[in-house]
Chains A and B, each alone.
Chain A
């Protein structure tokens, strides 16, 4: 092969790769939206009253792990967290009270994770739930860089199937990013997320509901103007609100 051939082949290959990036992108934007059973009239979310949240209670975390087969590696830096308990207190004040709250994916209206995902593996369902297509995610982890809430975890180890696994939620492969789905499989069955169900048996601070319905319980709480989002200044507009912060 002389240099002309080499350069010609190189040119053709590079041209092909550019066209391959460009053309499907065009067809992708032209193609119809994915069909889902979700309705855009619904906007699912939560209001969490942290005055009912005990620092020692991890019922929501345990229920989530069981429902969603969240693996546990016993390594704090690599562990996967769909929901976690955060404790906090006022900075620079001696003797400040420590409060506790659950933190998870906030299913933002403007999710930075979905904006940065190069392959649109993270997407917003019509009913506002932010999901990751595990079969499309390439594992670049840009979403983890962009998420303000540390809601995402990368599966850095192989995950073995366990006998007690919930068959409704697939075990995932390593090398992709995952996060809270708001228990989308339960919502589609007309049930509440597992964390909310577990919380009811404890403090009952978590309330799940439909912000798309102005008469729902969660919408009524918003009308009191007392509910707060985390980092509202970022403009992401999370659909999970807190009372008592």
Chain B
């Protein structure tokens, strides 16, 4: 079956409204970055106690969704899931936009974004940031070439690049997980599970994002989208969610087992106030239990409305997951002497405080705006969206019709003896 891609018309009032809203959102990103740079980081709630805040949460969140989208895009060419071929271009486009937004998140959070060229000239092989700079950039490069190959129907090249993209996406994610996992001094960071659980959450949130974008794009443009394709993606998301759940479970029970980690584990799981709430309510309930239940239940698993709900829950749940990974480890005081109570004017031995400041929130909304605005514009400028997306197998009703026709034919021909 030939898939035709066509630019969206983009002349409706709704489309222009979308451009204006997402454009205004996107404008928040550079505006808040300039505000931050001119004033200094004291305008945020990031401090010397909690050096990393919402921008880093957003960076790892966007990187995750990007890698997830890229893997989905490559599924048709690499794993032979040809029914997803109609989505390959859109998914690759999203992957590129998301990694660009993630890089923006990181760079504009620096104290000195004016030194953007410094990392190009100085390298530290032991630093995950340094290694990730190479990984993220090669990933972005590959994304562009891959999209080019998709546009030009280079079948072999697409397959090779798709495979390479999957490998790099795994690298990008292991690398991102390792930023935290390698920090051996903070109990809530130090874990080999962070790398694989990052990949799993990337796949689940990337799939959730794709489902949402697909359904809304096809709906808004009035193009045909076979529901069964979304059912398939929803099942896939469900499997990824179970894997995330497994990794989170193993990570936490391993940590909680060691007496030296009792304080850290109970802070996160039992008495950490809003962090405990984000863990159980945000990650476990919203991110995992509810969406998994929705996509695996026979009643809701085939309803587009419920699948969309599940995807939104998962998307927000993974944002909580990223928040829980980045922030609580900094809230916990560093152990100077594990057997002693300590105190100082620099707030040693005390739990730190963090909440998302207004400028950080504006910055985060801006980054999402960049992705959405870029997407809305790109599907008008280039033929990203297929005119229709069919499942490989015909629908049940069509199947029945065909069978009837076949039976009629047999009758007319007098019925050949069964061989």
Contacts and interface: CB of A to CB of B under 8 A. Distances in A.
Physical interaction between A and B: yes
Q: Which of B41, B111, B144 has the most CB of A within 10 A?
A: B111
A77 B112 contact: no
Contacts of A62: none
B257 interface: no
A146 B124 CA distance: 15
Q: Which of B110, B125, B189 has the most CB of A within 10 A?
A: B110
A22 B340 CA distance: 46
B347 A148 contact: no
B129 interface: yes
Contact of A118 (B51, B133, B341, B343): B133
Interface residues of B, number: 72
Contact of A141 (B52, B142, B145, B336): B52
A21 to B, nearest CB: 5
B254 interface: no
Interface size on A, as a range, is 35 or more
A91 B340 contact: yes
B290 interface: no
B347 A7 contact: no
Interface string B330-355: 10001111011111111111001100
A23 B255 CA distance: 40
A75 B48 CA distance: 10
Nearest to A158: B40
B186 interface: yes
Given A15-B141, A88-B343, A119 B130 contact: yes
A90 B339 CA distance: 6
A12 to B, nearest CB: 9
Nearest to A137: B112
B347 A76 contact: yes
A141 B111 contact: yes
Given A7-B151, A145-B52, A138 B40 contact: no
Contacts of A119: 118-119, 122-124, 130
B336 A149 contact: yes
A200 interface: no
B40 A157 contact: yes
Contacts of A150: 334, 346, 348
B343 A77 contact: no
Q: Which of B109, B119, B143, B353 has the most CB of A within 10 A?
A: B119
A230 B334 CA distance: 12
B76 to A, nearest CB: 19
Nearest to B147: A7
A149 B134 CA distance: 30
A62 B133 CA distance: 40
A28 interface: yes
Interface in B314-338: 330, 334-337
B32 to A, nearest CB: 15
B156 interface: no
A77 B49 contact: yes
B118 A7 contact: no
B127 interface: yes
Interface string A78-92: 111100111111110
In the A-B complex, list the 6 residue pairs whose CB atoms are closest, starting with the nearest.
A139-B111, A175-B111, A25-B123, A14-B141, A118-B129, A77-B47
11 contacts: A3-B151, A17-B120, A18-B141, A77-B353, A88-B349, A112-B185, A116-B124, A119-B123, A138-B113, A144-B51, A174-B41
